[in-house]
Amino acid sequence: MNKKILFTLPLLITLVLFGYFFWALTKPGRDPKILPSVLIDKPAPEFNLVALENLGVPGFSRTDLTSNGKVSVVNIFASWCVPCLAEHPDMVKLGKRDDINLYGINYRDKPEDALKWLNRNGNPYHRVGRDPKSRTGIEWGVYGVPETFIVDASGTIRYKHVGPLNPGDLEDKILPIISSLQAQN
């Protein structure tokens, strides 16, 4: 009798396996290429970035995330990054708000290229720091451009978005998180 159970074992194992496959394929928004950040709910790393010269906004460091009691959106961008252009209008929208900080980390870029890019498309950022060798990027666990972090007023990383903000992402994901973080204060 228990021999019969033995013979059904391969079937049972396979069913469990297919359950996992099914879960993985149907889970909304799952993309094996996107790596979730391990820094969520951890304090933002220490860093100090120099300004992009002639842009007219200062660079920034870790203290600027906590100095004014506002929620910060930290966006990693570069002039060579095509998807960055796609999400640029969303950055412009965010940049118009004065109840949050919008900081840009200029990732592995030549300063003159970055300046040209920002002058052409408009600079939405309140502060821009240069990260030519991606060292600060590494501290933040950045592996692609663009990436967008939301940091609360106490300097804790609360959210990370990998890749460009697609239509709807700003309204459905980013803004609600900002509002709830502001409400917590």
Partner 1 sequence: MRGLFLLTAVLFLFTVNSNPVKAFDPDEVLDDPALETRAREISKEVRCLVCQNEPIDSSNADLAKELRIVVRERLVAGDSDEDVKSYLSARYGDFVLFRPPFNTATFLLWFGPLLVLGVGGIGMFFFYRGNKKLKVANPLSPEEEARLNLLLDKDNKTKGSDSGEAS
Partner 2 sequence: MIAELGQFAIIMALLAAIAQSILPLIGAERLDSRLMAFGSQASLIQLLFVFLAFGCLTQAYIVSDFTLVNVAENSHSTKPLLYKISGVWGNHEGSMLLWILILAVFGAAVAAFGRNLPVTLKARVLAVQAMIGVGFLTFLIFTSNPFTRLLVPPENGRDLNPLLQDPGLAFHPPMLYVGYVGFSVAFSFAIAALIEGKVDAAWARWVRPWTLTAWTFLTGGIALGSWWAYYELGWGGWWFWDPVENVSFMPWLMGTALLHSAIVVEKRNSLKVWTILLAILTFSLSLIGTFIVRSGLLTSVHSFAVNPERGIFILFLLAIAIGGSLALFAFRAPSLKAGGIFSPISREGGLLLNNLLLSTACATVFLGTLYPLFMEALGGGRVSIGPPFYNNTFVPVMVPLLLLVCVGPLLPWKRADLVGVLGRLKYAGLATILAILLAWYVTEGGPFLAILGLGMAAWMLLGTLSEWADKIKLFRAPLATSWQRMIKLPGSAWGMTLAHGGLAIAVAGMISTSVWKVEDVAVLKPGETISVAGTDYRFDGVRELAGPNYQAVEGTFTVSQNGEFMTILKPQKRLYNVQKMPTTEAAIHSTFVGDYYAVIGDQVEDGGWTVRIYREPMVTWIWFGCTLMVLAGFLSLADRRLRVGAPAGKRKQGKREQKSQRNAAA
Q: With contact defined as beta carbons under 8 Å apart, do 97 and 125 qualify?
A: no
Q: Is 3 in the site for partner 2 (CB under 8 A)?
A: yes
Round to whole Å and give the CA distance between 152 and 136: 19
Round to whole Å and give the CA distance between 129 and 133: 12
**DSSP single-letter state for residue 170:** I
Task: For partner 2, give the closer residue by CB, 36 or 168.
Answer: 36
Task: For partner 1, give the closer residue by CB, 75 or 134.
Answer: 134
Strand duo 100-107 + 71-77: pairing: parallel
137 Cβ contact partners less than 8 Å away, ≥ 6 residues apart: 76, 105, 107, 108, 131
Binding segment for partner 2 (CB under 8 A), chosen from 15-23, 108-116, 118-126, 157-165, is: 15-23
Per-residue x/- mask for partner 1, residues 22 to 51, rule CB under 8 A?
-----------x-xxxxx-----x------
Scanning the structure block, which residue is given the tokens 């966006």?
75
Per-residue x/- mask for partner 2, residues 21 to 60, rule CB under 8 A?
xxxxxx-----xx-xx-x----------------------
Identify the residue among 62, 139, 155, 173 touching partner 1 (CB under 8 A).
Answer: 139
Q: For binding to partner 2 (CB under 8 A), which residues are involved?
A: 3-4, 7-8, 10-11, 14-15, 17-18, 20-26, 32-33, 35-36, 38
